Structure 1
Amino acid sequence: MRKLYWSLSPVSILLLALLLSVIPLGLWLSPDWAAENGPIEWAQTAILAVGCVTAIGANFYGVGTIAARRLFLCSAPFWLILIARELSWGRVFYPNGKGGFLPLKQLWYGSYVFPGIAIVLALIVAYMIKNDLHKEVVYWIKDAKRSAVDGIILVVAAVGADLSEHSLAGVIGAGCIV
């Protein structure tokens, strides 16, 4: 049975404030801030790194049950994959001299990126099944208490980010980086 609650936690208030602050910031900041290898991209990378360190720390500091701690540790490779994706699979370290970056297929490791990700994800799934961690995931989905407000914030942020990055640039203008 799903247990949703509608109260605002301090984390919910912080997330809501951050979400609402992004809109005026996006209209105010220069588009250069959102460019590949720009300050926003590096901030996103730092946030993902904090997520990875937090997941590893939750395991080592004994947060939750043993199964939950193993799940936290299993999430670390996901965080690392997200960091690699945010850095365009490392292409940001190979500028082409024209203000852009080399295509992935031109890098020596380019053909190994996606097979490598598939192998890492398969190993994680195998580890989860071998250690019955999928049962913990099912428990989190079915029985854990969840904040409906946090879920709504997550959906609005994800849809807003996708719209602003892919669909609204022509509607709002090239200066918008929301």
Structure 2
Amino acid sequence: MDGLFWKKQAVNSFEILLLIFILPLSFILPDSFAWENGPLESTQVIVLVAAALINFYFFYKRRHNFQLTISGFFLLLTGRELNWGRCFFPLGIGPDGPILVPMNQIPHHAIINIIIGIFIMVVLAGFIFTTPWYKIFSYHLFPVKLLVYSCICTLFSITGDSGHFFGKYKGELLEELGELLLYLLLLHISLYYYIQSSNNN
């Protein structure tokens, strides 16, 4: 139990430190870190793929459909970060990084958009029908700190994306750093619910 406690404390401290340093790092890191296919986006994809695989393993291990839904959710976010495959076919490099082919110029883009839309609807339906709502509200399974941290990261991401407060390039760094920590927090939240569901069986 002591080992588990200290592991939790280490993870919490790591997340708080990242949260504190998001803003300073956005002014320190090179602008190229926020480019498409850059270090931050590549790290985001690694985190998302790992999160999808971890939750799929949880589904395989305990057959909780909720974990399968979460795995699909992380795969959906992975597709978004990869620009639905467009990042693999850059047209060249511009002053703002790789230039990606517009979605409407990809062959069969209409079919691809339909498939993406169906995937989104399936994941949404999965959250509605596989989330253990009764257990969550009965046992008050709300990771408040993680949810608050996630809201702060979302605020960083939205603020950075607007570009109004920090300029275009620093805003992009703030956006990508916020998203990276948000994905780590979402993975932590998924681990929290898996552990709680196992304890309350």
Offset of 1:162 from its aligned partner? 1.2
Offset of 1:147 from its aligned partner? 2.9
Give the aligned partner of residue 150 of structure 1: 146
1:173 and 2:167 correspond: yes
Q: Which residues of 2 match residues 130-149 of structure 1 at below 5 A? A: 133-134=130-131, 136-140=132-136, 143-149=139-145
Q: Secondary structure at the match of 1:172?
A: coil
Q: Which residues of 2 match residues 67-146 of structure 1 at below 5 A? A: 69-99=64-94, 100-124=99-123, 133-134=130-131, 136-140=132-136, 143-146=139-142
Q: Give deviations 1:90-122, integer Å, cap 9, x for gaps.
A: 111111135401101111142223311232244
Offset of 1:15 from its aligned partner? 1.6
Structure-2 separation of matches of 1:13 and 1:79: 24
Q: Secondary structure at the match of 2:100?
A: coil
Q: Give deviations 1:101-147, integer Å, cap 9, x for gaps.
A: 11011111422233112322444566677xx525x145325643223
Structure-2 separation of matches of 1:109 and 1:137: 39
Q: 1:19 to 1:111 in 2, by over 3 A?
A: same
Aligned letter for 1:173?
A: G
CA RMSD after TM alignment: 2.4
Give the aligned partner of residue 37 of structure 1: 37
Which structure features the higher share of helix residues?
2
Q: Secondary structure at the match of 1:19?
A: helix
Offset of 1:78 from its aligned partner? 1.8
Amino-acid identity (%): 22
Q: Secondary structure at the match of 2:90?
A: coil
Q: 1:41 to 1:13 in 2, by over 3 A?
A: same
Give the aligned partner of residue 3 of structure 1: none
| Greater relative CO (CA pairs within 8 A, separation 6+) | 1
TM-score, scaled relative to structure 1: 0.77
How many pairs does the alignment contain?
160
Give the aligned partner of residue 13 of structure 2: 13
Q: Secondary structure at the match of 1:96?
A: strand
Q: Unpaired runs of 5+ in structure 2?
A: 1-7, 175-201
Structure-2 separation of matches of 1:125 and 1:173: 34
TM-score, scaled relative to structure 2: 0.69
Contact 1:91 1:102 in 2 (8 A): yes
